[in-house]
A and B are shown apart, each in its own frame.
Chain A
Amino acid sequence: MNARHIGERILAVEDITLSFGGVQALAGVSFDVREHEIRAIIGPNGAGKSSMLNVINGVYQPQRGAVTFLGEKRRHMEPHRTAKQGIARTFQNLALFKGMTALDNIMTGRNLKMKSSLLAQAIRLGPAEREELRHREYVERIIDFLEIQAYRKTPVGRLPYGLQKRVDLGRALAMEPRLLLLDEPMAGMNVEERRDMCRFILDVNDEFGTTIVLIEHDMGVVMDLSDRVVVLDYGKKIGDGTPDEVRNNQAVIDAYLGVQH
């Protein structure tokens, strides 16, 4: 849809099967994601979209199947390790650090990039101090980018929902991820907030070349943003292709587009 250069395959999920007790959340789902692309996952409520994201992120361990990221294949993974590999995410139900300011929340995203020893930090040695400042500069750029300068020192719990979603995105961006997982970044927003969020997502993808996997219910948004779409229904993949292909796929029309959300 735009002229970005779509690269090699960066992520592949193969035959992912995941159940919780009796509930089959995912049944043999496979798809891939290419570098620099925006890949959408759509499907009705309870289709298994968030579960898929959690598998990629290492929160859930699938009973069958494997995830390959940057050529490294794995079945079991922990989220703090995938973070180290360069996967960042936002949450469907906000998971911000409520007691902290917007600025501090985004600063936590730099956690993995901080190298100073604890002792040096505690007594605020020169190098540790400079490191903090350097990260602070980076974070200020993200804050400018997301247009939340006015709220940097506000405890996030007091921000309106739409702004909290931005802080959530900011925290993920602070990690400078290779792969960004967004779980319904626009849910619960008004039209204007949605438009802003769309713009941020496109800009991130454009300017930093960040690969994005995005869950979204709004078909208009999906058609506008994504290069390719995976469709899930009851834990199974029922469609995969460009927005146009998916829109014209009969199984998808039956399962999803017919259903109003």
Chain B
Amino acid sequence: MKFLATQWPVAALAVLLALGLAAPLAIGDAPVGFYIEVLLGGLMAGVLYSLVALGFVLIYKASGVFNFAQGAMVLFAALSMARMTEVMPFLVALLLATGIMVLLAFAIEKAVLRPLVNQDGAVLLMATIGISYFLDGFGQTLWGSDIYNIDLGISKEPILILDGVFQGGILVSQEDIIAAVTAAVLVGALAVFFQRTPVGRALRAVADDHQAAQSIGIPLNRIWVIVWSVAGFVALVAGMVWGSKLGVQFSL
């Protein structure tokens, strides 16, 4: 009951969701297999968005900054990845792209965040909007503005599962499965990291109060580089999954 009292919006949403899910089955006459396929497709889109959101949450939790540039980071990472895989093996490109995101984190810390320590949240938000524009322009200048493809080497062939259960079975793309698993693993790892480790506690401390965090010996600058690097890596993963599904372009 206490749960209901405090979490009623969540509960209400869950009820609505359940109703929405059940309705097509009750009134429609589409085959159940098809219904589940559509459902999964929707869930996958959700997974993609959640990968982007993960980057947001990460930076917000660890620095109190609402990072407007996360979308631009995803795009930038995806572009880098797409162009580099054209000329080098996948793994090398992945390493290099990770390196680029870490460098980017260093640059952002030095050029943007450091001069703004102890500033208001709104100031930092504006700064990230600036970063976002910069990344868009920089990415296009550096890598070109056409549409590119990332080949993850995963078969795009859908596989048929549960053939025996429903008539016609269910088609799922392997890509989608891998994306979902990746997202789940990332979310799980980061949750453990934030809630259960002392370093996670330190990150939450930084998010709550910069000055107090420094006073207990947490070096803000280093923490920010770490957080933005991890967020950059998450952006890279999101960009790869997304890019391989839809192609990399600026509408991302």
* A residues in contact (CB < 8 Å) with B: 57, 59, 78-80, 83-84, 88-89, 91, 95-100, 104, 107-112, 114, 116, 118, 121-122, 124, 132, 171-172, 175
Contacts and interface: CB of A to CB of B under 8 A. Distances in A.
A191 to B, nearest CB: 28
Interface of B: 189, 192-193, 196-199, 201-202, 204-205, 207-209, 211-220
Given A95-B209, A99-B208, A100-B208, A80 B197 contact: no
Contact of A111 (B189, B198, B207, B209): B198
Nearest to A97: B208
Given A100-B208, A111-B198, 16 more contacts: A59-B214, A79-B211, A80-B218, A80-B219, A88-B216, A91-B211, A97-B212, A100-B204, A108-B205, A111-B217, A111-B218, A112-B217, A114-B198, A118-B197, A121-B198, A171-B216
Contacts of B214: 59, 78-80, 83
A79 B211 CA distance: 8
Contacts of B209: 95-98
A95 B193 CA distance: 24
Contacts of B215: 57, 79, 83, 88-89, 91, 95
A104 B203 CA distance: 12
Nearest to A123: B192
A205 B80 CA distance: 58
A98 B96 CA distance: 39
Given A83-B217, A122-B192, A96 B212 contact: yes
8 contacts: A83-B217, A97-B205, A107-B201, A108-B205, A108-B216, A110-B198, A114-B198, A171-B212
A111 B202 contact: yes
Contact of B201 (A83, A88, A104, A171): A104
Given A108-B201, A122-B193, A175 B208 contact: no
Across the A-B interface, give the 10 residue pairs with the lowest CB-CB distance, nearest first: A83-B217, A95-B212, A97-B208, A121-B197, A79-B214, A112-B217, A80-B219, A95-B209, A108-B205, A114-B198
A118 B217 contact: no
Contacts, number: 85
A111 B197 contact: no
Contacts of A97: 204-205, 208-209, 212-213
A132 B197 CA distance: 9
Contacts of A132: 198
Contacts of A57: 215
B208 A98 contact: yes
A89 B208 CA distance: 17
Contacts of A107: 198, 201
A114 B207 CA distance: 20
A235 to B, nearest CB: 22
B217 A84 contact: yes
A57 B217 CA distance: 11
Contacts of B193: 122
Given A83-B216, A100-B204, A121 B211 contact: no
A210 to B, nearest CB: 16
A253 to B, nearest CB: 35
A97 B208 CA distance: 5
Which of B193, B207, B212: most chain A CB closer than 10 A? B212
B216 A95 contact: no
Nearest to B220: A80
B231 to A, nearest CB: 16
Which of B199, B202, B217, B219: most chain A CB closer than 10 A? B217
Contacts of A124: 196
Nearest to A59: B211
Contact of A121 (B189, B199, B207, B219): B199
A34 B196 CA distance: 40
B214 to A, nearest CB: 4
B204 A175 contact: no
A199 B222 CA distance: 38
Which of A96, A122, A132, A171: most chain B CB closer than 10 A? A122
Contacts of A110: 198
B110 to A, nearest CB: 15
A175 B217 contact: yes
Which of B193, B211, B215, B219: most chain A CB closer than 10 A? B215
Which of A80, A88, A112: most chain B CB closer than 10 A? A80
Nearest to A87: B215
B95 to A, nearest CB: 20
A52 to B, nearest CB: 15
Which of A84, A88, A97, A116: most chain B CB closer than 10 A? A97
